[in-house]
Every structure is written in C-alpha cells, then in structure tokens.
Amino acid sequence: MGLLAILKKMKQKEREVRILMLGLDNAGKTTILKKFNGEDVDTISPTLGFNIKTLEHRGFKLNFWDVGGQKSLRSYWRNYFESTDGLIWVVDSADRLRLQDCRQELASLLVEERLAGATLLVFANKQDLPGALTKDTIREALELDNIKTHHWCIQGCSAITGENLLLGIDWLLDDISSRIFTAD
C-alpha cells in the first residue's frame, strides 16, 4: 500500500478533516469560526498568529486552522497548507475597494501544489450590511467561474447573524467526504 493510501485509511478511521480558513484581514474568519462553535463574538481581536479549533460535527472531527490575514502574515500562510482537505476563503462583501487584492490573493493560493486536492468554499460574509455586494457580484469579481482546478462553491453568509454558515460548512463536508471517505 502506498503512503497516500495509508493516509487515506487513517483519515477514514478517524473521519478527521482539516480545514484552512484564509482571507484578507477583517474579513470575519475568526468570527465565523466562533459563531459556528456557539461562542461569544464580541471579544474577538484581530488575529496575531492563528487559532486552531477542533469541533465535532455530523460525526466528523473538524480541525479548523484560522490564520490571520494582515498583509505581513500572508507570507506565512504557506506554512499551513499541508494536508488541507478544505479551504474556506472568507470575503468581506462590503469591502469593495479591496476586492482586487482579494482576488489576487485567492488566485495565488489556487496554484499552490500543496492545496491542489482541497475543496474550496468561498464565504461572501457580512451579508447583513446594507452595502454588501451580492454573492453573484463577488463571484464575478473573484473570477470564480474560471476555476477548473478545484471543486468550489460560493455562499453568502453573516457571521453576526449566523445566516448560512451551516449550509456552507455542510456543502464543504459533503464534497470532502465524497472524495476522501468513500469505501475502498
């Protein structure tokens, strides 16, 4: 049995999934993670390094890696790519002026070899804001339709109200598990 097959087996046994959350600073990554876990979201500070959280959901063990998105931290993102099953790219839907930065950063991730096998979920976050762009506008601005290398999906959501967070995560899990945990 090759190494990959063994790893696959091990994962299958534990039903363990590794999810990497990235996006520009202020996008709402940490807030999404805490809200999803039912924690208080009023006390969150900008992330200086990263947070790891392990959650049980639908019989999966989800290991979330939430890495800070400030510009000076972005060169460290690569340190977290290894064995990522799902990539969640979080967008502040009301931050029009940084959408181009956002597109470029995402594009540079998608060519990374070590993320080649990961499923991509884009959260168009902050939909509760009156000035938020719709998920379709974001889809165009990020040129998601050009992505041929990854399974992807975009979901509008709000980390403050919790709207659609579960929907997004469930899609991600369905996609990952159909790839990884299928019977051999």
Partner 1 sequence: MEAPALPEWLQRRDEERRQQVERRQQEKREQAVAEEQSDFFQSAFQAERAAIEQLLAPPGGAPAALEEAALRLQQLQKFLSDSVRFLPPYDLRQAQEALQRLQAALGDGRERLRPKKKFAFTCRKKEASAPAEPSAPRAPAALPPPPAAESGISGLECETLVKGADEVQGRDVLLSHLRNCTVKLLGSPSTLHVRHVRDSRVLCGPVATSVLVDECAGCVFAFPCQQLRTHRTRDTKVYLQVTSRAILEDCSGVQFAPFSWSYEGLDRDFEISGLDRSKNNWSHVDDFNWLVRDVKSPNWSIIPEKDRITHWD
Ligand X SMILES: Nc1nc2c(ncn2[C@@H]2O[C@H](COP(=O)(O)OP(=O)(O)OP(=O)(O)O)[C@@H](O)[C@H]2O)c(=O)[nH]1
Which residue ranges are tagged as binding site for GTP?
A: 23-30, 69, 125-128
**Which residues face 66 on adjacent strands?**
21, 51
Q: Is 125 in the site for ligand X (CB under 6 A)?
A: yes
Q: What residue has token string 């939430």?
A: 66
Q: Which two tokens stand for residue 144?
A: 């998601």
Q: Which of 70, 100, 104, 155 is catalytic?
A: 70
155 catalytic residue (yes or no):
no
Only one of the segments 6-14, 68-76, 79-87, 137-145 lies at the binding site for ligand X (rule: CB under 6 A); that segment is: 68-76
Residue 27 touches which of Mg ion, ligand X, partner 1, none (Cβ within 5-8 Å per kind): ligand X
Feature table: binding site: 23-30, 47, 69, 125-128
What letter does residue 17 receive in the DSSP assignment?
E
CA distance 28 to 46: 9
Piece in contact with ligand X (CB under 6 A), picked from 41-49, 75-83, 102-110, 145-153: 41-49
Binding mask 41-80 for Mg ion (x = CB under 5 A): ------x---------------------------------
Q: Which stretch binds ligand X (CB under 6 A): 12-20, 111-119, 123-131, 169-177?
A: 123-131
The Cα–Cα gap between 122 and 159 comes to 13
Q: How far is the CB of 30 from ligand X (least distance, A)?
A: 3
Q: Is 101 in the site for ligand X (CB under 6 A)?
A: no
125 vs 177 by CB, closer to ligand X = 125
For the chain, where are the E strands, in sequence order?
A: 16-22, 50-57, 60-67, 86-92, 119-125, 152-156
Q: Does 107 bind partner 1 (CB under 8 A)?
A: no
Distance CA 33, CA 50 (A): 12
Q: Map 36-82 to HEC letters.
A: HCCCCCCCCCCCCCEEEEEEEECCEEEEEEEECCCHHHHHHHHHHCC
Q: How far apart are CA 68 and CA 77, in angstroms?
A: 9
Report the interface residues with ligand X, using CB under 6 A.
Answer: 23, 25-31, 44, 46-47, 68-70, 90, 125-126, 128-129, 158-160
Q: Which residues are catalytically annotated?
A: 70
